Amino acid sequence: MPLPDFIRPMLAKAGEAFDSDDHVFEIKWDGTRAIAYIEDGGYRIWNRQHNSLTKKYPEMSFLADLPEGTVVDGEITVFDGDGRPQFNLMLRREQGHGERNIARLAQQIPGTFVVFDLLYDGGESIMDAPLRERRTRLQEIVEAHPHPRLVFSDGVVGQGLTYFEHAADAELEGIVAKRLSSKYTPGKRSSSWTKVKRRHQIPCAVIGYLEDENKEVRSLAIAAHVDGELRAVGRVGSGMTAAQRAKLAEMFADHVQEKPFVETRHPTAIWVAPGFYCSVSYLEWTSEGQLRAPVFEGLLDG
C-alpha cells in the first residue's frame, strides 16, 4: 500500500513547565517542521503548509537509505559552531532559491534532521500506537542507519521543571512535554503535547499603529532602548484583546502626528506622539535588531 501524500503534523498547545512521570520532555528545536516519506527507493519532505522541502535541503539525501515505507516527523534545524540551533541561519536556508545557491548554502550552513516521531513503519500506520512505542521504534531506526545529519530527539521523563531550566540557561527556545501514552493526531493542536517557550520581557515605546477594517488597532509599531538609544524593534499585535484594541484606538485618536519620532523601516502606519508605553514579551533578537515573536503584555504608565 502506498504512503499517503501528506499527513498534517500534530501540534502542541502552549503551557507552563511541569513534572510528570507520564510525559517525556524534549527540547523545542528552533527549525522548520518537516515530515519525510521514504518509498520507491527515494524520499520526499513536506513542511507544515504542504510545501516541498526535498530540493531545498539536498543534504537530506541520506533519507533514501531509511527503511521502505517509513514516515518520520521532526524539524530540520541549523546548528552553529557551539551545537545550538540558530533560527537566523535557518531563515537563510528557507530563503535560498535556485539550484546553485541552494547547493552552496547546503555546504556552508547544512541542516540537520532532528526526528521525534514515527508515523508509518514498514508501510503501515502506527499513529494509534502509544508515543513510547513509536519513539522506541524510531530510535531503533536511527541507530540502525547512522548519519551525522540524522539525530534522534532524546529527552527526559519526569523532571520537566529542571529540564526547562536547563534549556533556558542554554538559551534554547524551550521544551515540549509529550504524554507517553498519547496517539498521534494529525493536524490537531492536542493537550497531549505542551510547548513551553522561554520568553523575555521588555518595556517599549509606541511609535504608531496599524488599523483593522473596524478602525481599531491591529498592531503597534514599537521601539526600545538598544545600546543607549531608542530604536524601532518591530510590530506587535499578538496578545491584545478586543477591548484593548478599541481602548488603544481611542487613546491614540488625539495624538496622531505626520512622522514617526523614531526612524523605522516600516513606512506605513498611523504615527503617534511620544508618551505611550507597553510591555512586550519576545523569544529573542533577530540579526536585524527586531524582536522575534513579540507578544503584547499590557500598557505601562509613562
Domain boundaries, the chain: 11-197, 200-300
Asked whether residue 87 carries a pLDDT value surpassing 90, the answer given is no
> Higher model confidence: residue 2 or residue 139?
139
Which class in CATH covers the domain with range 200-300?
mainly beta
- Burial of 66 per CB tally in 10 Å (0-12, 13-18, 19+): buried
What span, in angstroms and rounded, lies between the C-alpha atoms of 116 and 131? Answer: 10
Tens-place pLDDT, residues 243-279: 899 889 889 989 999 999 998 887 789 999 999 999 9
Asked whether residue 118 carries a pLDDT value surpassing 70, the answer given is yes
User: 302: pLDDT confidence band, cut at 50, 70 and 90?
Assistant: low
Alpha-carbon dihedral 106, 39, 44, 102, rounded to 10 degrees: 20
CATH of domain 11-197: 3.30.470.30
pLDDT > 70 fraction of the chain, expressed in percent and rounded = 100
Cross-sheet strand order for the sheet of 11-14: 11-14, 189-197, 174-179, 20-27, 155-158
Asked whether residue 115 carries a pLDDT value surpassing 70, the answer given is yes
Query: What pLDDT, on the 0 to 100 scale, is given for residue 137?
Result: 97
What span, in angstroms and rounded, lies between the C-alpha atoms of 283 and 289? Answer: 13
Query: What pLDDT, on the 0 to 100 scale, is given for residue 1?
Result: 72
- Burial of 288 per CB tally in 10 Å (0-12, 13-18, 19+): exposed
Phi, psi dihedrals of residue 193, rounded to the nearest 5°: -115, 130
Tens-place pLDDT, residues 136-172: 999 999 999 999 999 999 999 999 999 999 998 888 8
Query: What pLDDT, on the 0 to 100 scale, is given for residue 49?
Result: 93
pLDDT > 90 fraction of the chain, expressed in percent and rounded = 74
Query: What pLDDT, on the 0 to 100 scale, is given for residue 280?
Result: 95
Q: Which residues contact 12 (CB under 8 A, 6 or more apart)?
A: 176, 189, 190, 193, 194, 195
User: 122: pLDDT confidence band, cut at 50, 70 and 90?
Assistant: very high
Establish whether domains 11-197 and 200-300 are of one fold: no
Tens-place pLDDT, residues 181-219: 999 999 999 999 999 988 888 999 999 999 888 888 999
* 65: three-class secondary structure by DSSP: helix
Tens-place pLDDT, residues 90-109: 888 888 889 999 999 999 99
Cell of 45: 519532505
User: 120: pLDDT confidence band, cut at 50, 70 and 90?
Assistant: very high
Best CA proximity match to 194, nearest among 6, 3, 2, 15: 15
What span, in angstroms and rounded, lies between the C-alpha atoms of 183 and 192? Answer: 8
CA 230 to chain centre: 28
